[in-house]
Amino acid sequence: MAKRSAHYEYDPEKRRLAKIYSRQKLIMSIGNSIVIPLTAIAVLFLTGVFERLAEYSLNAGGSILGIILFVFFVSAIFLIFEFPLKLYGGYFYEHKYKLSNHTLPAWFNDFFKETLLELVFAVPIGAITAFLLVNFRYWWLYTSIVGIFFSLFINFIYPVVFLPFLYKLKPYKDRSELKNIIDILKRVGVTNIKKIKVLIESEKSKKVDAMFAGMGKTKSIILYDNLLDKFTKKEVRTVIAHELGHYVHKDIIKFEIFGAAQSVLLLYLTNLIIRNNFTADEFIPLHIYPVVSGILIVLGFLAMPLMMAYSRKQEAAADKFALDYIKDSSSQISTEKKLCDIDLADDKPNAFIEFWFHGHPCAEKRIKMAEQWAAENNG
């Protein structure tokens, strides 16, 4: 078990490595989520591959099955294009910085599991979108509605389907600390969360996290085993209190509403772009479906600062909630520093990078908030 410290201070070498690691990780993320798919879409659309693939799919499967086949083929093509960078970024790069505990066979096992889940859920929602696209003038509105219900469904089943499929989960067995956690829940008026589970992340990586997962009867608190092993109990309580802040503030629901509103707007704009630049037909041809995906990628990237700003606001409020209820700024500051060093997170990123890409305030700002709270509350 790693040595624990009640008052952790930054490791200067890890601060140096974090700058390099986080910058290159961001470049790879942009490559795999934006550059590679947009390049693939442009090449395959301009060379007529998508048009021929749509024609083949419809001839082979008819109007319904043909759409499903086409979406499956397109999804598979994207997965193939993205695989090399996923392998490098997810396995070799993580090992380079000693953040991964994966063996290569174990990484491939997880990759295939994640790919299976992606296809099982992405192909149906993609097929529904494509069906609406080719059959309804107001496809963008109907797609938004379907997307909202699909997102709520995923949130509901996440802790009972996704997590057990991808990770080993164990019950939290520290009875004395469990009582403290339950007391924290009661203190903030949360009485409907009964499940606290430990996610075995140490088999995969050295990274740390905690979360509230699920909705309704599937609500549960998930703690990474790395968190429990590498952090003091006081530090763990600040993490739990932060997550409780999200729950009490109803941040998941608010973020869903915010995301849904943005989705409607982006899909509406996508429809305008398609009709003004690709087809004047009342119903959009099937081979345009990947172009819709590409336009959404671009618009989503342009809208990212707004979504990230809203997320940072929620995170800062959750930090304040933890300080107000746990009243342990020292442990909260120690937690921030330790998290940064373990995950090689940049504690003071470039202002533009934080503005555009970061859903959390940087550690420097979070620590300053805790220090200011301590000065104002003698804590």
370-374 average pLDDT score: 96
Model confidence at 6, in pLDDT bands (50, 70, 90)?
low
**pLDDT value of residue 352:** 97
**pLDDT of residue 125 exceeding 50:** yes
**pLDDT value of residue 142:** 96
251-261 average pLDDT score: 92
7-19 average pLDDT score: 94
250-265 average pLDDT score: 93
**pLDDT value of residue 76:** 95
**pLDDT of residue 4 exceeding 50:** no
**pLDDT of residue 81 exceeding 60:** yes
**pLDDT value of residue 2:** 42
**pLDDT value of residue 362:** 97
208-234 average pLDDT score: 88
**pLDDT value of residue 320:** 97
Rounded to the nearest angstrom, the gap between the alpha carbon of residue 159 and the centroid of all alpha carbons in its chain is 15
- Joined tokens for residue 111: 């990759």
Output the average pLDDT for the chain. Answer: 92
**pLDDT of residue 62 exceeding 90:** no
**pLDDT value of residue 357:** 97
- Residue 259 CA to residue 232 CA, distance in Å, equals 35
For 299-358, how does the pLDDT look when each residue is reduced to its tens digit (9 = 90+)? 999 999 999 999 999 999 999 999 999 999 999 999 999 999 999 999 999 999 999 999
**pLDDT of residue 281 exceeding 80:** no
Give the least confident one: 83-97, 139-153, 167-181, 312-326: 167-181
**pLDDT value of residue 291:** 96
**pLDDT value of residue 379:** 64
pTM of the model: 0.91
**pLDDT value of residue 5:** 46
**pLDDT value of residue 156:** 84
Give the least confident one: 77-86, 149-158, 297-306: 149-158
**pLDDT of residue 155 exceeding 90:** no
**pLDDT of residue 3 exceeding 70:** no
